[in-house]
Structure 1
Amino acid sequence: MMGRRKWWCLQWLTTLVFVCLCVTLYYNVEPPHPRMTVEEWKLPTKWILTEEVEARMTRRRHHLAQVCKETGLDQPSETNSIRSQEFLINKMFNLVWCPVYKAASSTWLWNFNLLAGYTQQHLLHDIHRPLPLARNRYPRPSEGELLRVLRMRPAVVSFMIARHPLHRLVSAYRNKIVLNRKDYSKIIKVMKAGHPELGPSGWGAWLELVPGHVGVPTFRQFVQYILEQHEAHHVLNEHWIPASQFCTPCLVNYTVLAKVETLDEDTNYIIFASGIEGMVLPRMVNRSPEIATIDLARHYLCQLSNKQMQQLVSLYRYDILLFEYDVQEYLTCVRYNV
């Protein structure tokens, strides 16, 4: 009997040591960059604007204009003004883009950098820093400069790309907090310290007790941090600020309102409408983990409390209204959460 007890104790201690070693490696080894995939974007040899695509674009613009008027977002104010410094303007090809980060931004940074004269080899070598490369060739414009370009004749092709705001939030968490935890270490500490009660439970909570280790905040802690930043009227990080606030589509008359959900057709629309099909060798650049965000959205979002979800819907209400996104399934799945 004593022999069996000693054997179980030995097994338990071995497991404990193994878990501690795993945790030590996980938290002390520098996190790798997000797994990158760079896939060729197949452009059609001929492209014709179909009635279906044109009708969809027209309907989006009409819907946007109607909601902008109903909500008063078509009038500039202290909290609703054009963030011109965020735009990229390519004057040679009459192309204007407001990048909504975590909404195909890596793909279009690739395209804009190609148009700026970078080679594919250069871009692949600096694959993790496309925005600094772009800003070397595309200075941040003033509002006056942006408006002058938007009024040019012949007209420029201006666009932004929307994404379901809650899916974009999940993508930002996975890419910027889980994988890039070293770059966001200061924010992570604030997220974890602010609401430890929203931290991991069960075995996850036990592992957090290992001295000297700073773990990844839970999705609930991440969301609570954003909600409190918003409540305190702080400017939100570019990766989770509402797209309607960042790119102000009610104040900028975009030629194309694209969406991640119809990205293939919308990208072709932009490329051929601007005439750059012979100038770029487009690539689909993906910085996310292997499992698609859409497949994990419920896993993360349904962990939230009903109160958190209600507050998120309020925070992203204009994105939801302007770009016609449905959040009912997430409101339903958190209904009974504390």
Structure 2
Amino acid sequence: MEREHVVRLLAVCLALPSLVYYILMGSDTSTVRYHPLPTDDPDELWWSDWEKVQRSRREALAHGCKHHKNLRGKSFFKLVTNRRYLYNLVIDDKHRTVYCYVPQVACTNWKRMMMILSGRTNKTDPLAIRSYVPHVEGVLPRLSSSRMTSSLLHHKLRTYTKFLFVRHPVERLVSAYRNKLVINSTSAADFKRRYGVKILKKFRKGDAVQNISKTGHGVTFAEFVSYLIEKRHDSPQSMNEHWAPYVELCHPCFIKYNIIGKYETLEEDAEYVLRKIGAPPKLHFPPLVMSKTTALVESHMNTLTPALRKKLYDAYRLDFKLFGYDYVKEKDYVTQENGS
């Protein structure tokens, strides 16, 4: 019996150096084992950092959805059975991916990417696809027009990798205003006729009504915001997608998105998405062109009265809350509760 104890003690002593070596060298192998995405380079530790970022964004979104009850009676079942709600969701069965596009948040380039990923084009360079092509109806398969059964649609929405990209709501609105109601372009001319004339007739007073342009040119940012506030209150689901809230376009409280990308970290998030879904290694998101809109936000917001700023925040409150954006900036876009 005593000999048996001696043998066991000797075995432990012999195994101890190997155990110490394993513990000390464990960090060299843990990178590969713990890596969230397949990669040939174990030094790409930033992938694990972005997993943490995504987890944080998902948790913040879930927390926000849980504490906001004013979601206008929607449910996952209602989205699946009434597919008009899924118009902005495009699907790529090859990579088992669903992308909810949001206008004014790099959606043209993302639609180009989806065309390449889903085999809707022979081009391999997204910038080789003309900018209007991805927006043509029928170019990309939408869940709203899918003929699949409700059970199959339900399954794909539950199991496919789903992602969307958002940006600061005010910056997005300023971008939409400038792109659709200010600049001179074919697209803007159409928006001015469809919305500009309507806005001018609604909010111009007195003699100014007589000088309304038939082209719809000349809408101020304050008039645009007044229109958005009124439209959001009366018929939120009929708002044009270029300024409709994220909650109306992508339904983030009912569709569980795996990846929440942000315009502010577009390059990193885009690469993360492509690696995550198994895109071809040579396919990368187009180089980022710095937006001029950020520098214009303050000057546009300064044209609004404090009351109008507050109403604007209320109209897009969920977009701010769910995606972690602040409305009160250094210049106090909103009147503080203490009246200062």
- Fold similarity call, TM over 0.5: yes
- Residue 131 of structure 1 is matched in structure 2 by 135
Residue by residue, what CA displacement relative to the aligned partner does 1:192-228 show, whole Å, maximum 9, x if unpaired?
11111599xxxxx8xx959877522111111111111
Deviation, 1:90, is 0.3
Instruction: For 1:159 and 1:139, locate their aligned partners in 2 and report how far apart those are by CA, in whole Å.
Output: 14
Any idea what the Cα deviations from partners look like across 1:264-291, whole Å, max 9, x if unmatched?
A: 11111100001103363532486xxx86
Alignment-derived partner of residue 249 in structure 1:
252
> 1:307 maps to which residue?
307
- 1:151 and 2:158 correspond: yes
2:100 is the counterpart of 1:98: yes
2:61 is aligned to: 64
Q: How many residues align?
A: 279
How far residue 114 of structure 1 moved from its aligned partner, in angstroms, is 1.5
Secondary structure, aligned partner of 1:217: coil
Rounded Cα–Cα distance in structure 1 between residues aligned with 2:197 and 2:105 = 26
The one of 223, 232, 239 equivalent to 1:230 is: 232
The within-5 A match list for 1:179-258 is 179=183, 180-184=187-191, 185-197=193-205, 214-234=216-236, 235-258=238-261
Q: Given that residues 170 and 293 in structure 1 are in contact (C-alpha distance below 8 angstroms), is that contact kept between their aligned partners in structure 2?
A: yes
> Is the partner of 2:177 in helix, strand or coil?
helix
What is the aligned partner in structure 1 of residue 91 from structure 2?
89
- Relative to structure 1, the CA distance from residue 197 to residue 306 in structure 2 (aligned partners, 3 Å threshold; closer, same or farther) is farther
- In the TM superposition, 1:30-69 aligns within 5 A as 48-69=45-66
Cα-to-partner distance string for 1:309-337 (whole Å, 9 max, x where unaligned): 1111011101111001011128724659x
Distance across 2 between alignment mates of 1:279 and 1:74: 41
State the distance in 1 between where 2:93 and 2:221 align.
Answer: 41
- 1:45 and 1:110, CA in 2 relative to 1: closer, same or farther beyond 3 A? farther
| 3-state SS of 1:258 partner | strand
Please give the per-residue CA displacement for 1:54-81, whole angstroms capped at 9, x wherever unaligned.
Answer: 2111111111111111113689538995
Evaluate the alpha carbon distance shift between residue 66 and residue 80 of structure 1 in structure 2; reply closer, same or farther with a 3 A threshold. Answer: farther
- The CA RMSD measured in Å over matched residues stands at 3.4
The answer as to whether partners of 1:220 and 1:303 remain within 8 angstroms in 2 is yes
Q: Cα distance 1:78–1:304, how it changes in 2: closer, same or farther (>3 A)?
A: farther
Pick one of 274, 287, 296 that aligns with 1:271.
274
Contact 1:95 1:157 in 2 (8 A): yes
- 1:332 is paired with a residue of what secondary structure? coil
- For the residue of structure 1 that corresponds to 2:261, the secondary structure is strand
CA distances 1:100-145 after superposition (whole Å, capped 9, x unpaired): 1111211201101122331448974632232216x33414445934
Mapped partners of 1:174, 1:162: distance in 2: 18
Greater relative contact order (Cα < 8 A, sep 6+):
1
CA shift digits 1:36-62 (9 cap, x unpaired) = xxxxxxxx9965553322211111111
1: CA distance between counterparts of 2:77 and 2:220?
32
Secondary structure, aligned partner of 1:96: strand
Q: Please identify, of 98-107 and 113-122, the stretch whose mean Cα deviation from structure 2 is larger.
A: 113-122
Distance in 2, Cα, partners of 1:122 & 1:280? 9
Extract unaligned runs of 5+ from structure 1: 1-43, 200-204
Change in CA separation of 1:198 and 1:69 when aligned onto 2, cut-off 3 Å = farther
8 A contact 2:196–2:219 mirrored in 1: yes
- Secondary structure, in 3 states, of the residue corresponding to 1:257? strand
User: Quick one: which amino acid aligns to residue 317 of structure 1?
Assistant: R
Query: Do 1:305 and 1:334's aligned partners in 2 also have CA atoms closer than 8 Å?
Result: no
What is the match of residue 320 of structure 1? 320
Deviations 1:149-193 (A, max 9, x none): 1334xxx32101111111100010011111243111121101111
Gaps of 5+ in 2: 1-38, 80-84
The alpha-carbon distance between structure 1 residues 198 and 248, as it changes in their structure 2 partners (threshold 3 A), is farther
**Structure 1: distance between partners of 2:241 and 2:288:** 19
Q: Which stretch of the first structure deviates more once superposed, 209-218 or 82-91?
A: 209-218
Do residues 161 (structure 1) and 184 (structure 2) align? no
Distance 1:280 1:165 in 2: 29
Mark the CA change 1:281 to 1:326 in structure 2 (over 3 Å): closer, same or farther: closer
